[in-house]
Structure 1
Amino acid sequence: MENKPYIIAVDDTPYNLEVLTMILMDIDAEIECVESGAQALQMINTRQPDLVLLDILMPEMNGYEVCEKLKSKPETNHIPIVFLSALDDIDSKMKAFEVGGVDYITKPFNTLEVAARVKTHLKQHYMLEEMNVLLKESFHEIYTPLGLIKSSLSLLELEKADNEHIQSIKASVQSLHSIYEDMYYAIKKEVRAYPSEWIDLEQFLKDRVKVFKPQMSYNKLKFEISTSIDSPMIKMNITELERLIDNLFSNAIKYANKESTVHVNISPSNEKIKLEISNNSKKIKDPQKLFDELYREDHSVMGLGIGLSIVKKICDKYNISINVDSNDDTTSFILHYEEK
């Protein structure tokens, strides 16, 4: 490492901080010691550490509360937190991990154990940071050529007129673009803020259908959107709604029988908005497994198996119930959204 690791140790007992400083001298780290959670948060707002060593039993703000505050903010929720506490019961340890801690060391300290665990978590932290940089660069390298291919295809359409081969290429490019967007969301969802806004669901669906025209044309599919609600409004983040709808549309298109129609219906249901997306397709063996991460019903169809797991996580975030109904010739994804 070119720069020294920067560690903040938080404990209301000065003696414990002295012991930690002595233990960590051998790992060549820069260590800041503070005696309260409030001081720690203020310091972290100024400069982010590579690791936080955090006591639990402190006055005014305990360690759990400090951890929760750090984990609630996208800019600090990646910082690894190791709890150091005299509490040795299972409930205290479980709560430490539930609020976001990566490790739990009991007092009195074992010098070798503390040093070894700190080294391990610093190494993991730097590895994750390097992977994050690599992924950012990779996304740029993927997104740029995809954009160029799309632009070139549009020019080719103007010159050569539309044909089956162009539609096939456009459909494949759109599939790759959707995979890219899912991967980007899956990686960034924990560190990005996703503010909500009111969105007209009917208009949103009509706009998103246009994105999938190449796949629809290639598979000779039609989309029909109907609603029995005037201006159905939902409050969500627009990026997350895109991921939710795009994955449901993409799934419906990929598995629909050729030359069939994908039906989208918005209707009222017990003071909720019901959204149903149906296609003509073969029966799904185990519908609820579709939401499992990396599960794929048919490995011959392009995809990573993360799209519908993303849909489920977004639905859970917004308290949207989602179910799958599949019989011999029709599969339906049924969502219920309650206006808040």
Structure 2
Amino acid sequence: MKKNRILIVDDIPDNIKVLQAILSNKSYEVHYALNGKDAIMLCVTHSFDLILLDIMMPEMDGYEVCEYLKSKDKTKDIPVIFLTAKVDSEDIIKGFDIGAQDYVTKPFNAQELIARVDTHLDLKHKNEALKFMNLQLEERVAARTMELEDSNKNLEEANRQLSTLEESKNDFLSLMSTELREPLNGIVGFADMLEYAIKNKTNLKYVRFIKQACEKLIGISDIALLLSALRFDRYEMKVLGIPVTEIVKLSSEKLKPLISERKVKLKVDIPKNFIVKGDERLLEICMEKILENAITNAPSKSEINIGAELQGNKIKVFVQDSGAHFADGEVNYTFRFYELKKDEDSKNFKRFTPGLVVVKLVMDLHKAKVDVENRSEGGVNVSFLLPQY
């Protein structure tokens, strides 16, 4: 397995030694430079997965080095973590404005440093995988185009399919761009708050918030990759008998922070002997996205009902909230963001969430039915019907 290559840039050799000691327990390939010019030369001749960059250096400071690297195609995607003893909000914001991903304060906390390095390396590799998958999608479009050029039959229908595929790719990329903004904004916001916490050397709550934002960002990348895999039949299912209560339990565990934030209560009423046939990982993701949609839209301190009932030899699982209804027309597109019409007024879409698209693709893979309906007493009911095991 290829080792992650990390470049440390600091004009103080003792700082480099400390960082090398901290990183020595991980399987990294560590390089170093004592000034900005040497760092740039190394980046031109070598490839790195991450750069730990000191801000305060003579001749060429860390801001200048980062700005230069972000202006070049070869180095613009390398994550940069600033090393600094300064915690002024203006300095922090300046770092993010020129393209840095994060910062670590001196003296270094070993556990925090490794956690941040691992987070940004993991995010970088997932983004690279996503780019590769997008490239495959573009190649598929190109291949389809060549097929169409070789055939004169059913030209109108073939062109429509090609157009739909191209628009699907654009909608997918647009979705990623939109969803990535929120956690990135969270990182910047919490970084500002850290100034107060670090000065008082107490309360690492804000550090945890930053990690949560990064985790959310990585989660979005994971879902994007899964979406593409499901969309183009690259996922191999493993069908087992799975208790519905276990699916709900595992999914709700992942959503504890959101449940706490929204101050909602989950009321579960499902017999323990209700077991469905399906792929465990996909059904957990499916339930997680349905619950996430309900929790996000439910009023604070309200109750969300999760239940199940027998319908012949199948089990219907449902999640009910008391939030806003889907707008007229929105229900029609709940599961089909790949087919949203450009002339639709997006302002009418009040509760649409891309997570429900994942639910539909999962259910399609199981050859199962999923429904979304507005409840007459208020709120929304999302349900799916699976064979009993």
- TM-score normalized by structure 2? 0.44
- TM-score normalized by structure 1? 0.49
